[in-house]
Structure 1
Amino acid sequence: MREITKLQSAVDKAYQNFRHDNSGANADYIPFLAQIDSQLCALSIVTVQGDVITAGDTQYRFALESISKVCTLALALEDYDANTIQEKIGATPTGLPFNSVMALELHGEKPLSPLVNAGAMSAASIIKAQSIEERWQRILAIQQKLGSKDIYLSDELNQSEQTTNFHNRGIAWLLYSAGYLYCDTMEACDVYTRQCSTLVTTVELATMGATIASGGKNPITQEQVLKPDNCTRILAEMTMEGMYDSSGDWAYTVGLPSKSGVGGGILTIIPGVMAIAAFSPPLDTVGNSVRGQKMITSVAKELDYNLYKCI
């Protein structure tokens, strides 16, 4: 009970200190995201024992966006193996923005990382399926198994994204031309867009992270969702590319595997211990939630968690 009190204190402190920070702005290139209330703010922890600690607007459902890439990577690793995913998609930071075409041009059209848009479409395309609907349903199912059965596709958000995803369609054709897309080109782009258009709460997002933190066992449902070895690979990918262009700075200052999304969510994982999930729509210039970064940094420092700490 003392540990739970300590966690709640750290969450409450971070939430109260940063909930009114007015820095950043909502993503405006996706109409649905531009209209979200910028004052929304939430912070949650789920431990590997299944304890849930929350503060703020934790019942609000927000767009999973790029954090969905973690779930699809997890499914791809389950369908194949780490070596196959490394060979067919990659496991190296691109050093360029998450939607960069130049990154493909510089590396022979290989996407390098499943946590950038090109690699995420490649990962969606490699999922074992006989049809577009089977591919989509398997990706939705892994999100639900990792987080909660209540995660669902927002038709409004999906429509908003599908009608503005021309850049991603171009990336998909480049992948196809180089042999790094493993299903129909527009099918891959369509399914990738859908996976980004699901809605989650911070508790569900933290549950996703806690499932990975516990070696693939969902601490709420007790289902073994992933193989433990695959969780190790996921955490490595999150460390290298999870926070867009500021992934290196994040590793340097916070030292924990994380993944952000332009919907305002951030997921941070402390292996073997717990996951922290934050949500607030205003983003910095890179695409990471401003309040989310500050809240998670505060909690990590308050609880003294950093993977690179030696003593």
Structure 2
Amino acid sequence: MDTADLQALMDRIVESVREVDDGEPHELPVHREADRDLTALALVDSEDDRMASGDSDVAFPVQSMSKAFAYGLAIDTVGLDTVFEHVDVEPSGDAFNRISLEAGDRPDNPMINAGALTVHALLPGRTGEERFRAVHDLLSRMAGRHLAVNEDLVEQELADAHRNLGIAHLLKALGVLPGDPHDVVQGYTRQCAIEATTVEFARMAATLAHDGVVPGTDEQVLSPLAARQVLSVMMTCGMYDDAGEWVTSVGLPGKSGIAGGIIAAVPGRCGIAAYSPRLDTHGSSVRGILALEKLSGELSLHLLRPGLAKI
């Protein structure tokens, strides 16, 4: 498909999903006050060619999409075997904030909060602030600029962090969580408040799709092993208790966040991102899922579909 046809397709998809008014933004004030009509779709390939439609220049917090990148960074920091000793890779079938622990007391996977908190504790640095800076540096390098942090979101999240603190204290009591629970929760909360645009998130997804190399550059920000592991877990666990529906309808490694963003990767080809703040009951963007489902279908991107994608 040539550039003009792809742009026209993305424009049609964005306009079609704008008509959907299901779902509500997350209850946190930063998200609740977002413009509910905002809708965006972006695609970035290995050469850093960028296609975008809708409100693609609006920045929003990464939220749980950061879990994927932190997981890759932890693998490159302490090694896959060590990460696996702390966090499993099995789908939990539970919501993102449930306390899901397997028989050995490990969190089921790094995409739920229990796993993400443990992964954050394995990042480089002795404090939550240092670990946050490591993730911030990684996302900024993938985006191609120094990314801002939504300090209002940090304040709002920390004011009501009882569940994450409870999870962290339980993990500490079980001997799973390295570090101090309060410090880990604080660093993880700042990690989730990093902001980027839909195009920049698509560029981050494209980095995962190309063995950890930032599109258009030779900068290896994650190892091929880490990138592959991240994509594998995104495929099976990235959409929480909606993962089965996601795999059947979209068929790509994906990760959502409660700000309304979703990233998806087509291995070896491109990264895709969508944004709209209206969420479904699983905490994922209603319009974002529809947009990615339509794009995957139109371009034959589903990884279990015979033949090559049309991009």
Give runs of aligned pairs for residues 124-135 of structure 1, distance below 5 A: 124-135=120-131
Task: Provide the secondary structure at the position in 2 that maps to 1:13.
Answer: helix
1:268 aligned onto 2:268: no
Letter in 2 for 1:288: S
- TM-score (normalised: structure 2): 0.95
| Counterpart position of 1:297 | 293
Corresponding residue number in structure 2 for 1:186: 182
Whole-Å separation in 1 of the counterparts to 2:208 and 2:47: 13
Shift in alpha-carbon separation, 1:107–1:10, aligned structure 2, 3 A: farther
Q: Per-residue deviation at 1:132?
A: 3.0
Rounded to whole Å, the distance in 1 between the matches of 2:65 and 2:5 is 27
Match of 2:46 in 1: 48
Residues 146-161 of structure 1 aligned to structure 2 (within 5 Å)? 146-161=142-157
Q: Give the one of 185, 200, 208 matched to 2:204.
A: 208
- Structure-1 residue corresponding to 2:9: 10
Decide whether the 8 Å contact of 1:91 with 1:114 is kept in 2. Answer: yes
Whichever residue aligns with residue 18 of structure 1, its letter is V
CA drift at 1:108: 4.5
> Do residues 170 (structure 1) and 169 (structure 2) align?
no
CA contact (8 A) 1:109 1:174 kept: no
Which position in structure 2 is the counterpart of 1:230?
A: 226
Check whether the contact 2:48–2:216 (CA below 8 A) recurs between aligned residues: yes
1:242 aligns with: 238
Judge conservation of contact 1:44–1:206 (CA < 8 Å) in 2. Answer: yes
Q: Is this contact kept in 1: 2:202–2:273, CA < 8 A?
A: yes
Per the alignment, in what secondary structure is the counterpart of residue 267 of structure 1? Answer: strand
Residues in 1 aligned to 2:248 and 2:103: alpha-carbon distance in whole angstroms: 26
Residue 9 of structure 1 and its aligned partner are, at CA, apart by 2.4
The residue that corresponds to 1:100 in the other structure is 98
Q: For residue 183 of structure 1, what is the amino acid of its counterpart?
A: G
Counterparts of 2:10 and 2:153, CA distance in 1: 29
1:281 counterpart = 2:280 = no
Shift of 1:253: 1.8
**Mapped pair 1:307 → 2:292:** no
C-alpha distance in 2, partners of 1:107/1:287? 27
The alignment status of 1:25 with 2:21, answered yes or no, reads no
Give the aligned residue type for 2:93: G
Corresponding residue SS for 1:152: coil
Give, in angstroms, the shift of residue 6 of structure 1. 3.2
* Aligned partners of 1:26 and 1:282 also within 8 Å: yes
Question: Partner amino acid for 1:153?
Answer: V
Tell me the matched-pair count.
Answer: 307
Instruction: Structure 2: state its 5+ residue gaps.
Output: none
Q: In percent, how many aligned pairs have the same letter?
A: 35
Greater mean alpha carbon deviation, residues 126-135 or residues 269-278 = 126-135
Residue of structure 2 in register with 1:253 after alignment? 249
**AA at the equivalent of 1:34:** R
Alignment-derived partner of residue 217 in structure 1: 213
Shift of 1:81: 2.1
CA RMSD of aligned residues (A): 1.4
Deviation at 1:307, TM superposition (A): 0.7
Secondary structure in 2 matching 1:153: coil
Q: SS state of the match for residue 191, structure 2?
A: helix
Tell me the TM-score normalised to structure 1 length: 0.95
Paired residues of 1:66 and 1:260 also in contact (CA < 8 A): yes
Q: Secondary structure at the match of 1:39?
A: coil
List gaps (5 residues or longer) in structure 1.
none
Give 1:37's aligned residue: 35
Correspondence for 1:119 among 102, 115, 121 = 115
Structure 1 contact 207–220 (Cα < 8 Å) conserved: no
Change (3 A) 1:185 1:280: same
* Distance (Å, rounded) in 2 between the aligned partners of 1:146 and 1:115: 20
Q: Which amino acid aligns with 1:19?
A: R
Residue by residue over 1:164-193, the C-alpha shift from the partner in whole angstroms, topping out at 9 and shown as x without a partner, is 111110000011011111111111111111
Q: How many Å apart are 1:36 and its aligned residue?
A: 0.9
Compute the displacement of 1:136 (Å): 1.7
